[in-house]
Amino acid sequence: MTATRLFGTLAHRAAILCFIAFALFPLYWLLKVSVTPNDLLYSEGVRMWPSRTTLDHFRFVLANSEFPRFFANSLIVSGSTALVSTVLAALMGYALSRFQFRGKLWLAALLLITQMFPLVMLVAPIFKILSPLGLTNSLTGLVIVYTAFNVPFASFLMQGFFDGIPSDLEQAAMIDGADRFTAFRHIILPLALPGVAATLGFVFTAAWSEMIFALMLISGSEKATFPVGLLTFVSKFSVDYGQMMAAGVLALIPACLFFLLIQRYLVQGMTAGAVKG
């Protein structure tokens, strides 16, 4: 009995370890290449860690490339997209969760359908729409497009969180003298913070790594975001892997920071004690 249980635990742990290793290995490789000097990159064969390490790639990327600008552009675009999408999704999710209205089913179905199209199909029409408006080659244009693509899923995400909050709570607030929107702000939103954090994180990372639209809608390096910027390390004749990976490592930092910032809200259990239980 205990032997089988021990075996079960071990197998369980081993499986988790395997998964973590599998998931994290590319990141490890990214880090490894970014600190490998150029002359060792091809000469040492496949090794887990180079015999000599260097920070030259990072120095070069930060000082001599356009990377800091890509980085700033990406921050602006992803940050704004996350903010705008989450606000819209919170309102939408609340409506989906609490109200019965005509056409609700259709609306939900439509939202789902938008998620089924491969984005590539939409590049040309969207370009056609945005270009007369002067929104191509502009960060605002990107924010609009990203928001449009992220709001449906984010709304469902938020709806799920609102569904988990008993509607007795806002009704109690309304009886206490709040109108619905005040009740939403004072009572429901604070309790939905884990959901808001998760949505912010989800949209931020989606926008942060988006490539197709950034590539198609932006020309030139002035407005390029970082995934597009990475391509500048690919020249006609060679790929500068060291610098590219160094840029990649740097690009991981904001995403990590962002999640560090919101992880406190990702903790569940905020609604404990609200109602009997």
Partner 1 sequence: MATMEIRSASKNYGTIRVLDDINLEIGDGEFIVLVGPSGCGKSTLLRMIAGLEEITGGEIRIDDKVMNALPPKARDIAMVFQSYALYPHMSVADNMSYSLRLRKTDKPTIAEKVRDASSKLGLDALLERKPKALSGGQRQRVAMGRAIVRQPKAFLFDEPLSNLDARLREQMRAEIRKLHRELGATSIYVTHDQVEAMTLADRIVAMHGGHIQQVGTPLELYDRPANLFVAGFIGSPGMNFLKGDIADRCLHLCDGRTIALPAEMPATMGEATLGIRPEHVVLSPAGETGLEATVELVEPTGHGIILHLTLAGSVFKVLTHDRRWLEPGASVSVSFPTDALHLFNAEGVRV
Q: Which residues here bind partner 1, judged by CB under 8 A? A: 166, 168-169, 171-179, 182, 186-187, 190-191, 270-276
Q: How far is the CB of 193 from partner 1 (least distance, A)?
A: 9
Q: How far is the CB of 29 from partner 1 (least distance, A)?
A: 43
Give the pair of three-digit tokens for residue 168.
Answer: 């007795």
Apex 267 CA angle, 162 and 261, nearest 5: 105
Tokens 């602006």 locate to 76
Judged by beta carbon, residue 143 or residue 165, the one nearer partner 1 is 165
Judged by beta carbon, residue 129 or residue 174, the one nearer partner 1 is 174
The three-state DSSP-derived secondary structure of 82-134 is HHHHHHHHHHHHHHHHHCCCCCHHHHHHHHHHHCCCCHHHHHHHHHHHHCCCC
Q: How far is the CB of 102 from partner 1 (least distance, A)?
A: 13
Q: How far is the CB of 94 from partner 1 (least distance, A)?
A: 17
> CA 122 to CA 11: how far, in whole Å?
45
> CA 204 to CA 40: how far, in whole Å?
36
Judged by beta carbon, residue 128 or residue 186, the one nearer partner 1 is 186
Cα–Cα distance list, 120 to 7, 33, 213 (Å): 48, 31, 8
Give the pair of three-digit tokens for residue 260.
Answer: 């560090």
Q: How far is the CB of 98 from partner 1 (least distance, A)?
A: 12
Q: Pick from 181, 184, 128, 137: which is nearest to 158 by CA?
A: 184
Judged by beta carbon, residue 8 or residue 166, the one nearer partner 1 is 166
Judged by beta carbon, residue 175 or residue 256, the one nearer partner 1 is 175
Give the pair of three-digit tokens for residue 16.
Answer: 């988790």
Q: How far is the CB of 166 from partner 1 (least distance, A)?
A: 6
Amino acid at 110: L
Judged by beta carbon, residue 170 or residue 240, the one nearer partner 1 is 170
